[in-house]
Structure 1
Amino acid sequence: MSALSKAKGFRSSKSGLYISMATSAFGAVGVVKQIKKARGESDMLRLVDAVVTGAAVVTNLAILYREVKRLGDDDVLLG
């Protein structure tokens, strides 16, 4: 198996999904900062943008969580 094939399979492995979830959760920190800044400046457009971005982060986390549950014990990198 080539290194490129292993790298492509990493995203669909359990550890790859956990890293993707952590990255998405880290994006939520940016959303919180954006909301605080928008509320401080009373900027409604930035606040709406932050809320929509937050919804995207939550949806992404839900999809990744579903994939982790589906993956179960069939880890690509282990076998």
Structure 2
Amino acid sequence: MSALSKAKGFKTSKSGLYISMATSAFGAVGVYKQIKKARGESDTLRLLDAVVTGAAVVTNLAILYRELKRLGDDDVLLG
């Protein structure tokens, strides 16, 4: 197996999904800071941008969780 095919398979592995989820959760910290700053400045447009970005982070986490569940369903040892 070549290194490139191993790297492509990492994204769909359990550890790859956990890393992707952690990265997305770290993005939520940035969204929180953006919301806090926008509320402090009473900037409605920045607040709207932060809310939309937050929705994208939540959606991404939901998709990754679903993929993790599917990966677990395929595993015979997990039941």
Under a length normalisation based on structure 2, what TM-score does the superposition of the two structures give?
0.92
Render the CA deviation track for 1:29-74: whole Å, top value 9, x for unaligned. 0000000000000000000000000000000000000000000175
* Stretches (4+) displaced over 3 A: 73-79
Change (3 A) 1:44 1:75: same
- Larger RCO, structure (CA 8 Å, separation 6 or more): 1
Cα distance in 1, alignment partners of residues 27 and 74 from structure 2:
28
Give the alignment's Cα RMSD to 1 decimal.
Answer: 3.2
Unaligned 5+ segments in structure 1 are: none
**Identity percentage over the alignment?**
92
What SS does the aligned partner of 1:21 have?
helix
Under a length normalisation based on structure 1, what TM-score does the superposition of the two structures give?
0.92
Q: Work out the number of aligned pairs and report it.
A: 79
Change (3 A) 1:47 1:38: same
Unaligned 5+ segments in structure 2 are: none
